[in-house]
Chains A and B, each alone.
Chain A
């Protein structure tokens, strides 16, 4: 059984059709890239999966469970987390707290526990912090020394990394990355490429929206191409690179990919 099965999903915004009969499958352990020109519907597809914008028709099944109709936090609790195209961090919280919120739904401390502090609370807190440090260590020395800094004081690249860390801490089965290398220089971008591989090694499945062809070609197992809300191609990097429809959609994308 595929990990994620998207079947004939259509999403329109009162006349503007963002997605039209999109179907695809993702298997456990894969790294899938979702590419397409601007406005193709990539982020909309992410939003449909996570329940932020439920699709008009179609079904999205995750490990056999229907996601359409679930609230976003319920989708997350099923084991799907994401990052955002325009970074959405908790700006006035520390790096550590940002990541710990990612772990919130795993906690059991409610209001009464918070007030009376049975020993369970301290244990849960310590374990959660341990998990945070573990996840942040994936980024080397970049975030760990800054645990007590507020998120809005971090550099741009670190903010992107923090968002990924926050999405990882709850050990999701599937993590959706929306343009994780946007605005990064080639060196930082390469770091993210290695990070994606590391994430897969840890047992997560990854779906990435990306514009940088070099990233897409090197890191993906499979690539799915959207254009104007429809899936126009799917295949391995080599297959996609040779696909004329894709090249046309990008109008010279092949040359751009070679130049990168």
Chain B
């Protein structure tokens, strides 16, 4: 009993924040603001997914928008042409994106450093070119229109506020699941690979398998975000998944920091809000993102919140590390 109470107290700030965000639609009536928040939600998931690769494993993938696009197109086609119900379609798009992640990861991860990065760029470009030119399958530059709204077991998502709660739920799932992955063997191995891949391998860590798993997961989450995006804006075209979209994610990670679960969130939030708050910057969105990349790398490479492993629990209740050790404990060898 006391332990559950302690747990609740420990997580109180997070519960409060979640409740606040959940109640936002009560205070904010301007639907445009709600829409901005929805986009923030989409980009939080995207940034977190790329963070798995660039932040936790320490790779540099610069073509991530491809998986976003795969999820979007897959979801649209599954619902519209195959008649799959939305929840299944979203899951399916994530898995399809994951499969592509696997197919791309297998040959690419063999390459070192910059070559791997160039390969991810190459795949993003190829994906974009295929989207643009395979008219019969993707409708080319015209894109896919009239994508239906999400229908979850008969409940239609129509209003912005309903969309808001859906993305809110998805963001919570994303952060929650990632936290679970990071705070156990999987996450430890990933960071070990990032810090010193040679040493990790020498200790028995199957580095290639972990990297591929991270790739597939990153693609999966991006695919989920893509699926949501398709059914939210109801029209998708290849332009949304060009390499500039990948670069926007890079700017978010560069600004907010990567390697933990908070930096990408901060990066996504701020880099979406700034062009909204400073209206005159709207047209110069890409200029802002480009400048962010340049300035952050020169001034603070690790981003605002990078470089630290922020635990998602408050430190004084942190029983993750477990080992509360005091001098003279019983497992010392007797001297």
Question: In the complex, what's the smallest C-beta–C-beta distance from B223 to chain A, in angstroms?
Answer: 16
Q: Is the CB of B184 within 8 A of A125?
A: yes
Chain B's closest residue to A100 (CB) is B188
Cβ < 8 Å to B, chain A residues 97-138: 97, 100-102, 104-105, 107, 109-111, 113-115, 117, 121, 124-126, 129, 132-134, 137-138
Residues of B contacting A101 in the complex (Cβ-Cβ under 8 angstroms) = 188-189, 192, 200, 203, 205
Q: Is the CB of B331 within 8 A of A89?
A: no
Question: In the complex, what's the smallest C-beta–C-beta distance from A82 to chain B, in angstroms?
Answer: 6
Interface flag for B279 (CB, 8 Å): no
Binding stretch for chain B, among A57-65, A70-78, A182-190, A232-240: A70-78
Interface flag for B317 (CB, 8 Å): no
Residues of B contacting A82 in the complex (Cβ-Cβ under 8 angstroms) = 202
Q: A147-B325, A170-B203 are in contact. Are A104 and B185 (CB under 8 A)?
A: yes
Q: Is the CB of A92 within 8 A of B191?
A: yes
Q: Compute how far the CA of A132 lies from the CA of B196 in the bound complex, rounded to whole angstroms.
A: 20
Chain B's closest residue to A126 (CB) is B322
Q: Is the CB of A133 within 8 A of B188?
A: no
Q: Is the CB of B323 within 8 A of A104?
A: no
Question: In the complex, what's the smallest C-beta–C-beta distance from A137 to chain B, in angstroms?
Answer: 5
Task: Pick the contact of A104: B205, B309, B325, B327 (CB < 8 A).
Answer: B205
Residues of B contacting A140 in the complex (Cβ-Cβ under 8 angstroms) = 332-333, 335
Q: Is the CB of B191 within 8 A of A90?
A: yes
Residues of A contacting B307 in the complex (Cβ-Cβ under 8 angstroms) = 92
A127-164 vs B, CB cutoff 8 Å, 1 = contact: the mask equals 00100111001101100110110000000000000000
Interface flag for B180 (CB, 8 Å): yes
Interface flag for B120 (CB, 8 Å): no
Cβ < 8 Å to A, chain B residues 191-208: 191-192, 195-196, 198-207
Question: In the complex, what's the smallest C-beta–C-beta distance from B118 to chain A, in angstroms?
Answer: 25
Q: A interface, how many residues as a size bin?
A: 35 or more
Q: Is the CB of B333 within 8 A of A137?
A: yes
Q: A96-B321, A96-B323 are in contact. Are A102 and B203 (CB under 8 A)?
A: yes
Residues of A contacting B335 in the complex (Cβ-Cβ under 8 angstroms) = 140
Q: Is the CB of A133 within 8 A of B332?
A: no
A19-59 vs B, CB cutoff 8 Å, 1 = contact: the mask equals 00000000000000000000000000000001010000000
Q: A101-B189, A111-B213, A134-B331 are in contact. Are A147 and B196 (CB under 8 A)?
A: no
Beyond the given A52-B198, A102-B203, A109-B186, please list 11 additional residue pairs across the A-B interface where CB-CB is below 8 A: A73-B202, A81-B202, A88-B196, A90-B196, A104-B192, A105-B205, A109-B184, A124-B185, A140-B335, A144-B329, A148-B323
Chain A residues packing against B (C-beta within 8 Å): 50, 52, 71-73, 76-77, 81-82, 84, 88-94, 96-97, 100-102, 104-105, 107, 109-111, 113-115, 117, 121, 124-126, 129, 132-134, 137-138, 140-141, 144-145, 147-148, 166-167, 170
